[in-house]
Amino acid sequence: MPRDAFAHVTTWVFDLDNTLYPPEMALFDQINVKMTAYVMAALGVTREEADRLRHAYWRDHGTTLAGLMDRHGVDPDPYLSEVHDIDFTVLRPDPDLRARIRALPGRRIVFTNGTGDYAEQVIAHRGLAGLFDAVYGVEHAGLRPKPERRAFEAVFTRDGLDPLRAAMFEDDPRNLAAPHAMGLRTVHVAPAPAPADHIHHHTDDLADFLSRLIA
Ligand SMILES: [Mg+2]
């Protein structure tokens, strides 16, 4: 029963993609297609090479964008607007998740490697508008991505949250390492667990997990 493990929490930090909506809604799949196309055009490479580079950038730089910026000096603004120009109607509102998030005591914030504008559209299409005290994108993290610790430090400082009284929900296990080191309670939200020392809890159903915290 995880309830006692969260009794101290006053700020609830949520990742966006594949955390506040399930992967089967396939929104991020559209972004993946756009990111590969952008790499092909920006670097003049084949699809196969673009996919290989994207994997290497994800592994070594955190995100495709961070790799493009660090290795090739790519301008982030056109990239961010292009890859987030997608069809949001694949998302469906989730009244149960809305009720569970709304019942959490304290501040509720979102931190995504996408942009704040993009996050607001996802939040609206999931029926979660009005629930969050703040929404932070990569532009609020100095254009550095999770999993970099300095990205978390930038956003948490801006927000003013106390890491020792916060919890983070996230589908990418890598993005829970820095929060864990900073003192947050960490929850891995994904179909399959990825046991690691920096992960306190796993769930494949965010709404159900939250319902057990506030019952
Ligand atoms: Mg995610």
Look at residue 18 in the predicted model and tell me its pLDDT.
97
Return mean pLDDT, the chain.
Answer: 97
Residues 14 and 38 in one domain: no
Confidence of residue 2 (pLDDT cuts 50, 70, 90): confident
- Residue 113 alpha carbon to ligand 1 centre in Å: 8
**77 lies in the same domain as 102:** no
- Residue 214 has a pLDDT of 79
Cα 9 from Cα 15, distance rounded (Å): 17
Rg (CA), the chain: 17
In a shared domain, residues 207 and 108: yes
Specify the pLDDT at position 36.
98
Same domain as 48, residue 97: no
Nearest to 139 by CA among 156, 121, 120, 117: 117
CA–centroid distance, residue 128 to ligand 1 (Å): 16
Q: Which domain holds residue 72?
A: 27-83
- Across-strand partners of 109? 13, 134
Q: Which tokens hold the place of 148?
A: 């970099």
Residues contacting 87, CB < 8 A, separation 6+ = 30
Q: Are residues 14 and 66 in the same domain?
A: no
Task: Give the CATH number, domain containing residue 43.
Answer: 1.10.150.450
Which tokens hold the place of 159? 């927000």
pLDDT at 47 over 70: yes
Distance 190 CA to ligand 1 centre (A): 9
| Rounded distance from Cα 100 to ligand 1 centre (Å) | 19
CA of 124 to the centre of ligand 1 (A): 17
Check whether residue 11 and residue 113 sit in a common domain: yes
Q: For the segment 67-100, what is each residue's pLDDT rounded down to a tens digit?
A: 999 999 999 999 999 999 999 999 999 999 999 9
Asked whether the beta carbons of 157 and 149 are under 8 A apart, the reply is: no
**33-39: which pairs have CB atoms within 8 A and are 24 or more residues apart?**
34/82, 34/83, 34/84, 34/85, 34/86, 35/64, 35/83, 38/79, 38/82, 38/83, 39/64, 39/68
Q: Does residue 159 sit in the same domain as residue 174?
A: yes
Count of structural domains, the chain: 2
**pTM of structure:** 0.97
